[in-house]
Amino acid sequence: MEKYERIRVVGRGAFGIVHLCLRKADQKLMILKQIPVEQMSKDERLAAQNECQVLKLLSHPNVIEYYENFLEDKALMIAMEYAPGGTLAEFIHKRCNSLLDEDTILHFFVQILLALHHVHTKQILHRDLKTQNILLDKHRMIVKIGDFGISKILSSKSKAYTVVGTPCYISPELCEGKPYNQKSDIWALGCVLYELASLKRAFEAANLPALVLKIMSGTFAPISDRYSPDLRQLILSMLNLDPSKRPQLNEIMAQAICIRPLLNLYTDVGSVKMRRPEKPLAPVPTVTHSRAGGRVSSARPRGVRGSSAKTGIPPPLSSIYTWGSGITTPLRLPMLNTEVVQVSAGRTQKAGVTKSGRLIMWEAPPMGAAGGPSLPGATEQLQPQFVSRFLEGQSGVTIKHVSCGDLFTACLTDRGIIMTFGSGSNGCLGHGSFTDVSQPKIVEALLGYEMVQVACGASHVLALSNEREVFAWGRGDNGRLGLGTLECHNCPQQVTIPPEHEAQRVICGIDSSMVLTVKNQILACGSNSFWPVLHLWEQPARAAGHQLLPQQPPAPPGCGAPGNEGHRGGLWGCLHCGHRSRW
């Protein structure tokens, strides 16, 4: 032990104690398994030695690395890699009811798949594959399987008979006492995939006999409809009661649902050498949203030179770029393993919606956390760095649209419910108070309506229902809420729209608002500070004031639209036909 410094006990297993240690030679954190051998039976001693023997045979980026073993104080000490992100079981438990998106599930699954394939190629059964034995790195993006204490090295055609493993993950053939081979690990792999998709175990019961009956019947609750039929079918195939009908690991890898995450994984870690084109084809923008102080663009590349639909290689995931607020050229934002279909940017917030309906946030690290201060006399500033993360606390809901304000965010679910979170200082969250909220919370005042759109200004929000009703809340100065007053409101208030107009879309500026009508006309209210914007909503005679109620802008001279008379001086850009003239 002179090479290691013990830090703390991190776990207690069936055979001993697990210590977190510091290797003195290079200051690297390690795990030391302390397995007492003095009071062990012969079988227990063999099991401890077996773990060392198994670990020596394995070398894979998704398998916990083995370093050495030695005897210390009548105990066998096994030194191995430390995974600071905890176990996959802990990761799942912390999510409560917030389902993972399918891309994240597959990102984890294919890594476990590759690790198990490596184990099986060494003619080894894991025999205790479960989420408690799957570990995560500090970023919780790389998974590694461990705990081979009850593994069994097999000859190429032998079968194991010993009934071992965690009861919730044991296969039907183990329950019946039948011989089994690698297909039992595939059953356990199916249980792990089900747990990733449903956040609960496939088979659970109050006692062992009831659990065995459930496993033998092969019945379990279906996963959420938000997931693809391919994922559902993959789980069913691995949890087939007949071992011979469960797919082999190489057959699972060849399935269409696994090809894309496997390709992404190998591309990311550099295991596949891919020659990138010098000039990628122009991306096709999907859905974008921007306001003063920042801009974000989401694009899916059309393809890569040299590839075609005939190759069967799936296209890469989305790329997200931002610029503005001192960023003079588009800066690519870091991406998690997912596809983003809509983005929004405020002066302080950047967010996106994934294909599976989850929120992803991009945040700048604290001042000084990345890159440090610029050197004295430096003429170039370092590009700001951003960190991407999935937002917790969605409670299993599916988000279809997000809009960002200053220090707060609003999102719309697929069921027409608006949720907000962030700073409540201006009443922008609409919860009837000025309290900050860290997790998405339903705007309860709008639960009686089916909302179809939400838009955020710097410190106010507009929302539109399927009945074309408009609601506003937040700061009311300059008349930005369109309620006829300058008062602030921390709860949604219905905006009176002239009866001859029907709202089709709402748009928020920093301190102004607009409503696009069904007839493609615009109603607007709010600050009138900047004259180039004046013609969009205000009569020339009121150039010094603010519009408190939504009002239709007039058409400029020379335009064939109604209301084109009586204007003098100033440059106009017509909202009706694009005509530009002076009044």
Based on the fold, state whether residues 258 and 152 are members of the same structural domain.
yes
In a domain, 278, yes or no: no
Tokens of 562: 């109604």
In a domain, 137, yes or no: yes
Based on the fold, state whether residues 526 and 391 are members of the same structural domain.
yes
In a domain, 147, yes or no: yes
Task: Specify the pairing of strand 408-413 against strand 399-404.
Answer: antiparallel
Q: What is the pLDDT of residues 128-161, one digit of tens each?
A: 889 988 999 888 889 999 876 555 544 433 444 4
What is residue 366's predicted lDDT score, i.e. its pLDDT?
58
Based on the fold, state whether residues 546 and 570 are members of the same structural domain.
no
Based on the fold, state whether residues 68 and 118 are members of the same structural domain.
no
CATH number of the domain encompassing residue 230: 1.10.510.10
Closest CA to 341 of 394, 262, 414, 449: 414
Q: Which residues are catalytic?
A: 128
* Type of residue at 159: K
Would you give the end-to-end CA distance of the chain in angstroms?
Answer: 87
In a domain, 464, yes or no: yes
What is residue 296's predicted lDDT score, i.e. its pLDDT?
60
In a domain, 379, yes or no: no
In a domain, 276, yes or no: no
Q: Which long-range contacts (CB under 8 A, 24 or more apart) does 22-26 make?
A: none
SS (H, E, C) 308-342: CHHHCCCCCCCEEEEEECCEEEEEECCCCCCCEEE
Last residue of a domain, one of 81, 113, 144: 81
Tokens 């510091």 appear where?
Answer: 22
- The DSSP secondary structure of 101-155, one letter per residue, reads PHHHHHHHHHHHHHHHHHHHHTTEE-S---GGGEEE-TTS--EEE---TT-EE--
**H/E element holding 91?**
helix 88-94
CB atoms within 10 A of CB 113: 24
Last residue of a domain, one of 47, 81, 115: 81
CB 66 within 8 A of CB 56: yes
What is residue 486's predicted lDDT score, i.e. its pLDDT?
92
Based on the fold, state whether residues 66 and 176 are members of the same structural domain.
no
Tokens 């009934």 appear where?
Answer: 163
Query: How open is the CA angle 237-238-244, to the nearest 5 degrees?
Result: 85
Q: What is the rounded CA–CA span in Å between residue 218 and residue 240?
A: 7
Based on the fold, state whether residues 263 and 289 are members of the same structural domain.
no
Total domain count, the chain: 4
What is residue 411's predicted lDDT score, i.e. its pLDDT?
93
Based on the fold, state whether residues 454 and 502 are members of the same structural domain.
yes
The burial class, CB within 10 Å (0-12 / 13-18 / 19+), for 490 is buried
Q: What is the rounded CA–CA span in Å between residue 348 and residue 404?
A: 8
What is residue 286's predicted lDDT score, i.e. its pLDDT?
41
SS3 assignment, position 565: coil
| Eight-class DSSP state of 537 | T
- In sequence order, what are the residues at sequence separation of 6 or more whose Cβ sits closer than 8 angstroms to the Cβ of residue 426? 434, 459, 460, 474, 475, 488
What is the Cα 489 distance to its own chain's centre? 32
Tokens of 304: 């890569």
Tokens 């993360």 appear where?
Answer: 389
Q: What is the rounded CA–CA span in Å between residue 133 and residue 87?
A: 7
Based on the fold, state whether residues 525 and 565 are members of the same structural domain.
no
Q: What is the pLDDT of residues 235-260, one digit of tens each?
A: 999 999 999 999 999 999 999 999 88
Q: pLDDT tens string for the chain (583 positions)? A: 788 888 988 877 656 788 899 988 888 898 888 877 776 677 766 666 666 777 777 889 999 888 888 878 778 888 888 888 889 999 999 888 889 999 999 999 999 999 999 988 887 888 788 998 899 988 888 999 987 655 554 443 344 444 444 578 888 888 887 776 788 899 999 999 999 999 999 998 888 888 888 888 888 889 998 999 999 999 999 999 999 999 999 999 999 999 889 888 766 544 433 333 333 333 434 444 444 345 565 555 444 444 444 444 445 578 888 888 778 888 888 887 788 999 999 888 899 998 888 899 988 765 544 444 444 444 444 556 788 888 865 555 788 999 999 999 999 988 888 999 999 989 999 999 999 998 888 898 898 788 999 999 999 999 999 999 999 999 999 899 999 999 999 999 999 999 899 999 999 998 899 999 999 999 999 988 764 443 343 333 333 345 565 665 555 444 444 444 433 333 333 343 444 333 3
Q: What is the rounded CA–CA span in Å between residue 384 and residue 331?
A: 9
CATH number of the domain encompassing residue 10: 3.30.200.20
What is residue 149's predicted lDDT score, i.e. its pLDDT?
56
In a domain, 241, yes or no: yes
In a domain, 308, yes or no: no
Based on the fold, state whether residues 395 and 490 are members of the same structural domain.
yes
What is residue 395's predicted lDDT score, i.e. its pLDDT?
52
CATH number of the domain encompassing residue 452: 2.130.10.30
Closest CA to 353 of 425, 295, 287: 287
- In sequence order, what are the residues at sequence separation of 6 or more whose Cβ sits closer than 8 angstroms to the Cβ of residue 74? 36, 37, 38
Q: Domain span at residue 506?
A: 284-302+316-365+386-554
Last residue of a domain, one of 46, 81, 116: 81
Q: What is the rounded CA–CA span in Å between residue 502 and residue 331?
A: 39
| Eight-class DSSP state of 570 | S
Query: How open is the CA angle 353-355-358, to the nearest 5 degrees?
Result: 45
Based on the fold, state whether residues 57 and 108 are members of the same structural domain.
no
Based on the fold, state whether residues 217 and 357 are members of the same structural domain.
no
Is 0.75 surpassed by the pTM of this model? Answer: no
What is residue 267's predicted lDDT score, i.e. its pLDDT?
63
Q: What is the rounded CA–CA span in Å between residue 217 and residue 331?
A: 54
Based on the fold, state whether residues 497 and 450 are members of the same structural domain.
yes
CB atoms within 10 A of CB 232: 16
| Eight-class DSSP state of 196 | H
